[in-house]
Amino acid sequence: MVDGVLRARVAAPAVAGAANNSLLRLLADELNVPLRSVRLVAGAAGRQKLVVVDGIEADSVVARWPGLRV
């Protein structure tokens, strides 16, 4: 983590949204929330993404990844 930004690497290619879907699945698994609770709200075509996770408190996310900007 650098500057409060979580860095993730997925193996899926950036074709037809596969990498974005893989990222959302990874975050859902790591945060123990249903996949439907994780949404990509900005950056679908770029390297930087903005993700919203419903059903979890910000404190829980920061506890998992200290220093993350929420």
**Domains by residue range for the chain, with CATH:** 1-70 (3.30.1200.10)
Q: Write out the DSSP string of 32-43.
A: T--GGGEEEEE-
16-65 pLDDT tens trace? 899 999 999 999 999 999 999 999 999 999 989 999 999 999 899 888 88
Residue 63, Cβ density class (10 Å: 0-12 exposed, 13-18 middle, ≥19 buried):
exposed
pLDDT at residue number 68? 87
Model-level pTM?
0.87
